[in-house]
Structure 1
Amino acid sequence: MTIQPCINPFTQETNELKITFKKFIEECQYLKRLSPQTIKGYTEVFNTFCKYMPEVATLEDLSAQNVVQFFTRVSQRQRMVGSVMKIGIKPSTLDTYYRKLMVFFNWLEKNKFIENRSISSVVPKPRAPEYRDLKSLTQDEISKIIAAITMKNSKDTWQKIRDLTILNLLIFTGIRRGELLGLKVQDIDLEQNSIFINKETSKSKYSRYIPINFKLRQTLEGYLNIRSKQEIYHPSLIVSCKRGTAFTQHGLKHWVSKYEKLSGVSFHLHRFRHTFSCNMAKAGADPTTIMKLLGHTSLRMTERYLRSIQTRDALKYINLL
């Protein structure tokens, strides 16, 4: 008699919940055409749910009680960070888990995969996280990054101008990483002073135009001029200095790491997006205008980017009363 190995039914690829989630992802990819980054976010959160809730394998198993249990378990988890034992997760991470899971659960309800179980209306939303960190970069921090780029490439004009162009695009447009890498030379209209953001590279899937300010225009003119002298004709706007091919995510990651170390400023690409939105607000731009420039679909998202605005920033407006 042959003894069959014991198979955990919750880890099989025939897991009904995982199969249904795959259908959800396919719809997100091919019908809604969401960005790979958004798809990755949904997938990572769902995998975390499966990890902590192995007993939920079928759609019948899924309930509001089980979802609450998931949040309880991740809030109590223990993990080593270096030599320190950490318990639970950050409020912002909990908020992210909730928002991304509810998109999937609402899809299940809408498509009648689960009926008479309105999970999103039963499971309480986690308390909104209080952000005490300053996400936007200060002028001093930006100056340090500029100095690092200038000093590092003092003998390499081509790389210096390319890297300053990347920096100024981030500071003066607030574009996302994918939008920056997706820019084409033809998207830059110096006659109309505008940059075209193609919906194919935008997270919101809407095309938009961003005006070019005077300083960014000077940088772009210098960059396009030296590109021509280098005989680089690749359609992508930002290119590798060595190969003349399209700049990659890996190259951009290396760019951040290099100038973090050289400048002594801790930053990531999204901090420039926060910086742009806050600087626009301080300059008097209304939230709707900022929302359109950032490519957001709701003011609620834009408001999260403006959390770096301090009470003292209102002084000049109060003095006008």
Structure 2
Amino acid sequence: MSVSTGKTPHKRGQRKNTLDIPQRFLDRLTPTVLETPRSTQQKVEEAPNETLTLNKLFNRYYTARQAAGAAERTLEDYRKHMNWFRCFLASEYSGLDNFVPNRDVIRSWISHMLTVQKLKPSTINIRLRTVKAMFNWAITEGIIKESPFDNVELLRVPEEDFQVISKIQERKLFNCCELTTFTGLRDALLMSFLLDTGLRIGECMRIFAEEVDLQNRSASVRAESAKTRKARLVYFGSRTQELLVIYLAWHEQNGQAPNLFLNEYGQPLDKNWATRCISFIGKRAKIAGVRISPHTFRHTFATRYIKATGDPFSLRRLLGHSSMEMVNRYVNQDASDVREQYEKFMSRGNE
């Protein structure tokens, strides 16, 4: 006779694959423990990505370059060139808040700069390279898959002769400076300093008075002031030295900033002021046929140096170039130099 236990009997050896779990325990298990609800999963899959605009892309690029220690001059170029691109997009495409431009937009921009703004190919290429660098960075960061500059070539730039200031024109420029006044003395010093050192105007404006060595006739260009971020020494002649003796005496008494070149109030001057100042002196001197600018002074220094020494390697260090590419352009002599060398060759051959 069997005794009832209240349990459901099952045959020996029969597999039992069920659990007798009270319902109150099942109710405590949340859906996230059991499985991802279909509605939640669908929301994740259908969540739209944040719209990438040119403004957002540029801000990320600018921050990255800033964090990488880019020079302030480089960052300024980023802002300036991107602003020109924005102006074009605002006028032709009603702004840029809702899209990243494609190659058709880039080609339209090039056409606009050529036909409407009538810019030189070299100027256009500078702007294009700056914007192109941003898109190349975005590709390496995985932000975009292709650049709008793909299959868009830079413009061909005809190799033009450098404009050089002659000795006669140089005298005319200095004759316009009244050395008995502070501004006249300072302007003469600025031109003499540029002609002797070959400095870029931005580097020149960032030179500190304490970095000038009168005895050794040299000046230090700090790494943070140089375009290539490499420190170097430049040198100047006796005329610049004499002007500096008088100017530095005034600077010591009246200077309110460490910069070498100051205004009459003792405040530092920038490269835009220097460019306008030198251009104005060129107009007063009635110089024709040559654009009187700080960069023309740099070309003049380089051309005179290579003619006098024939040494492009030391010239590269003085100019602060990272490669020989630009320096080699000064080595290519103009027609008059070639004719002069040819006549020397012929006279030796006839002898």
TM-score normalised over the length of structure 1 = 0.75
**1:47 pairs with 2:86:** yes
Q: Report the Cα distance in structure 2 between the residues aligned to 1:276 and 1:207, rounded to whole angstroms.
A: 20
Gap change, CA 1:257 and 1:310, over 3 Å in 2: closer
Taking the TM superposition and a 5 Å limit, the aligned residue runs for 1:195-214 are 195-214=219-238
The one-letter amino acid paired with 1:125 is: L
Counterpart in 2 of 1:9? Answer: none
**1:122 pairs with 2:151:** yes
Q: Report the Cα distance in structure 1 between the residues aligned to 2:119 and 2:259, rounded to whole angstroms.
A: 40
- Contiguous gaps of at least 5 residues in structure 2: 1-50
The one-letter amino acid paired with 2:173 is: I
Counterpart in 1 of 2:107? Answer: 68
- Contiguous gaps of at least 5 residues in structure 1: 1-13, 80-87
The one-letter amino acid paired with 2:254 is: I
Q: How many pairs were matched up?
A: 289
Q: Report the Cα distance in structure 2 between the residues aligned to 1:142 and 1:29, rounded to whole angstroms.
A: 41
What SS does the corresponding residue of 1:209 show, helix, strand or coil?
Answer: strand
Taking the TM superposition and a 5 Å limit, the aligned residue runs for 1:167-246 are 167-225=191-249, 227=251, 231-234=253-256, 235-240=258-263, 242-246=264-268
Counterpart in 1 of 2:171? Answer: 143
Counterpart in 2 of 1:28? Answer: 65
Gap change, CA 1:244 and 1:90, over 3 Å in 2: closer
Gap change, CA 1:58 and 1:247, over 3 Å in 2: closer
Q: Report the Cα distance in structure 2 between the residues aligned to 1:285 and 1:32, rounded to whole angstroms.
A: 36
Deviation at 1:316, TM superposition (A): 5.0
What SS does the corresponding residue of 2:137 show, helix, strand or coil?
Answer: helix
Q: Report the Cα distance in structure 2 between the residues aligned to 1:147 and 1:32, rounded to whole angstroms.
A: 43
Q: Report the Cα distance in structure 2 between the residues aligned to 1:120 and 1:27, rounded to whole angstroms.
A: 21
Contact 1:59–1:114 (CA under 8 A) maintained in structure 2: no
Query: Percentage identity across aligned positions?
Result: 21
Q: Report the Cα distance in structure 1 between the residues aligned to 2:311 and 2:113, rounded to whole angstroms.
A: 39
Deviation at 1:137, TM superposition (A): 1.8
Counterpart in 2 of 1:162? Answer: 186
Write out per-residue CA displacement over residues 55-90 of structure 1, whole angstroms, 9 at most, x where no aligned residue: 895898544454334434544x446xxxxxxxx543
Contact 2:278–2:293 (CA under 8 A) maintained in structure 1: yes
Deviation at 1:276, TM superposition (A): 1.4
What SS does the corresponding residue of 1:19 show, helix, strand or coil?
Answer: helix
Contact 1:45–1:101 (CA under 8 A) maintained in structure 2: no
Write out per-residue CA displacement over residues 209-260 of structure 1, whole angstroms, 9 at most, x where no aligned residue: 11233333333234334545xx2354322222x3233334565355235413
- Pick from 96, 109, 112 the counterpart of residue 139 of structure 2: 109
Deviation at 1:310, TM superposition (A): 1.3
Deviation at 1:171, TM superposition (A): 0.6
Contact 1:45–1:100 (CA under 8 A) maintained in structure 2: no
